[in-house]
Amino acid sequence: MKNLLLITLFFMFSSSDICSQDLSVGYDMFSHKKPAYITKKDGTKIEGMVDKIKRKKGLLELVILEVRSKKIELNPEEIDHMYLAPSGLDKLNNTLDAVYTLDKWDREDVESDKIKEGYA
């Protein structure tokens, strides 16, 4: 009876790992040397360098891009999606997590070529 209970507990804990979600690694700091790709809700695509990202309570408040020596300010409501290159220090912190999320990099709802280049 004790062995049956141990086997049941083992399968319960191992199956929770199988059914759990594999989310993309989160990044907090972004590179100022690599280009950022932003698509606005109206379909306009913008490519430029990240100048500054303002946050309030961890949420984006304002994204400032530098495109051809002009600064463009974007509110989160204007942005549909964006691809930002993480900074070297942030990549170093998330190296172990990236090993476990490789299976997510072939998803079709994201631009996998940008993900494979190291963008988040």
How does pLDDT run across 41-75, given as a tens digit for each residue? 999 999 999 998 898 888 888 888 889 889 999 99
pLDDT at 82 > cutoff 80: yes
Distance, in Å, from the CA atom of 91 to the CA atom of 93, rounded to the nearest integer, reads 5
Give the CA distances from residue 74 to residues 92, 97, 107, in Å, rounded to whole numbers and listed in that order: 28, 30, 27
Residue found by looking up tokens 């993900």 in the block: 115
In a domain? residue 12: no
Number of independent structural domains in the chain: 1
In a domain? residue 5: no
Is the pTM higher than 0.85? The answer reads no
Residue found by looking up tokens 């999606």 in the block: 81
In a domain? residue 29: yes
Q: Which residues pair with 60 in a beta bridge?
A: 55
In a domain? residue 18: no
In a domain? residue 4: no
Residue 55: the pLDDT is 87
Residue 85: the pLDDT is 86
Distance, in Å, from the CA atom of 28 to the CA atom of 49, rounded to the nearest integer, reads 16
- Residue 38 belongs to domain spanning: 25-116
In a domain? residue 86: yes
In a domain? residue 91: yes
Question: CATH number for the domain including 47?
Answer: 2.30.30.100
pLDDT at 40 > cutoff 90: yes
How many other C-beta atoms can be found within 10 angstroms of the C-beta atom of residue 100? Answer: 10
Distance, in Å, from the CA atom of 113 to the CA atom of 23, rounded to the nearest integer, reads 18
In a domain? residue 108: yes
